[in-house]
Amino acid sequence: MGSNKEKSVLWKTLVGVGTAAVSGILGGTGICQAANPFADVPEGHWSYPAVEQLWREGCLKGYPDGLFKGRKTVTRYELAQLIARAMSQGKIQAAHPLVQEYREELDGLGLRLARMEQREDQVQITGNIQFSYRQLSGKAFRKDDCENTLNDLRSRLFITGNIQPNWTYQVMLENNQYFKGKNESGDSDVDAQRLHLDGRLGAAELTAGRYEQVIAKGNFYDDNVDGIQLRWNGEESTLQLSGGKVANLSSFGWNPQPAIADTFFSVEASQKWNDIRFSAGYSHINNVRIEGGLQGNTQVLTAGVGYQQGKWQAQGIFLHGKNQYVEHRGANQNGYVLNLIYGNFAEQQQGTWNLYGAWYDQPAPTVLSHTMNGQYRIDPLHGFRGYMLGGILAIEKNIYGILEYYDLKGEKNHKNGRTLWTEIDFDF
């Protein structure tokens, strides 16, 4: 049956496996956070993030009295139940050492491992349908421009399959329909916008192909690239190396656009200390081509700090950008972004919500392709500053709505550009 020490080690190993499987990196406004599932695991406890994430994904159920009982000795059958739930959710595979170690107990629970092993070769299909509405106003936009009001129906289909243990592939197909009141037919194309491999290479996690690259939490860049990314994720620290070529933006067959830059390299690292996480990064992008703005090679240095306590989150990031073309035309180099979030939004929990806001002061060299829904290229030669207020609500399980308002002003031309953005998302 194994000693208590062995059981404790196996328990910590399994929690680590589940956490790695369900964890994501917060980006953009960082608006995902779930409520406390167990009364005996307070939010300040060291194990709370792992326990909460495993519970949210359905791997942990707790005891009938609603408690976690973390100090209770765990039996092999209880561990087997947790392994079985993780396998049914696709978090670990049948070839994992934990599954082999507990094969007898899993068989005793009625789990047919042969059937689970067969499922590993199957393809999983998930998706997202988003309907959005955008209204632009202010001196930065022409009043008679039909683009000021835009309705968009975006459909995404994710096809994920296993190549071998610890290696998967994913394809993202996308279609966009724009409704401008001009009797337009929309976009009839469905394009493969992403195609990448994901797996482990020694101690690192690797992504290769066309994937979504996020730099400086999306404040500098958030879009597709053709490249390779290596990630080392520790309990308190992370390191990420990325390199490749910037992919085309909105590269659909009906509306091809050239890439806004050529090759790139990026390194980002973070370290957590108590409730505070510090981050830093450096990115170099060659041959940037922004109409009326950045031209030539661009570098950006970033330093950030984030704090989370209960339902509150606060984040700040400093950006130092260099681009000779815009600097010679009066653009500043230093900028910053501040974010504040309050709430307990969890996509699968109806009625949960977040309220959030941000202040931006970003000269042109500090932004290439921003993650925001606001129109930020109102002064592409010098940059912008202003604020955003928003909220997100889980209407039903996997159905949520977002409302955001942006009020931005050009750094030098001082033209206001306001954006009202709403969207409804359906995940399946």
pLDDT in tens, 141-167: 887 776 788 888 999 999 999 887 789
Contact predicate 205/25, CB 8 Å: no
- CA–CA separation, 315 and 172 (whole Å): 30
Would you state the pLDDT for residue 74? Answer: 67
31 has a pLDDT exceeding 50: no
267 has a pLDDT exceeding 50: yes
58 has a pLDDT exceeding 90: no
Rounded to a whole number of angstroms, the distance between the first and last alpha carbons of the chain is 41
Question: How many CA atoms lie less than 13 Å away from 389 in the CB half-sphere?
Answer: 2
Would you state the pLDDT for residue 35? Answer: 56
- CA–CA separation, 110 and 84 (whole Å): 10
- CA–CA separation, 286 and 213 (whole Å): 16
This model's pTM is above 0.75: no
50 has a pLDDT exceeding 80: no
With tokens 């409730």, the residue in question is 275
19 has a pLDDT exceeding 50: no
Amino acid of residue 117: E
58-67, 183-192, 260-269, range with greatest mean pLDDT? 260-269
12 has a pLDDT exceeding 80: no
Percent of the chain topping pLDDT 70: 77
383: left (phi over 0), alpha (psi -120 to 50) or beta: left
Would you state the pLDDT for residue 257? Answer: 61
**pLDDT band at residue 26, thresholds of 50, 70 and 90?**
very low
Mean pLDDT of 287-304: 94
- In 180-294, which ranges are E strands? 191-201, 204-215, 221-233, 237-246, 263-273, 276-289
Amino acid of residue 281: G
Q: Which two tokens stand for residue 234?
A: 């520790």
301 has a pLDDT exceeding 90: yes
CA torsion angle 374 378 383 386 (round to 10): -50
Give the total residue count for the chain.
428
- CA–CA separation, 119 and 87 (whole Å): 10
pLDDT in tens, 328-383: 999 999 999 999 999 999 998 999 999 999 999 999 999 999 999 999 999 999 99
Would you state the pLDDT for residue 253? Answer: 42
CA torsion angle 215 221 226 229 (round to 10): 0
Q: Which two tokens stand for residue 99?
A: 């599954």
> How far is C-alpha 392 from the geometric centre of its chain's CA atoms?
15
pLDDT in tens, 170-213: 999 999 887 765 555 555 678 888 999 999 988 899 999 999 99
Query: Which residues fall within 8 angstroms of residue 213, CB to CB, at 6 or more apart?
Result: 221, 222, 223, 224, 225, 227, 229, 242, 264, 266
Distances (CA, A) of 300 to 102, 127, 223, 269, 286: 50, 34, 17, 14, 12
Amino acid of residue 39: A
Contact predicate 32/23, CB 8 Å: no
- CA–CA separation, 263 and 255 (whole Å): 23
Please indicate whether residue 152 or residue 69 has the higher confidence score (pLDDT).
152
What is the CA angle 315-378-214, rounded to 5?
40
pLDDT in tens, 212-228: 999 999 999 999 999 99
What is the CA angle 364-370-374, rounded to 5?
100
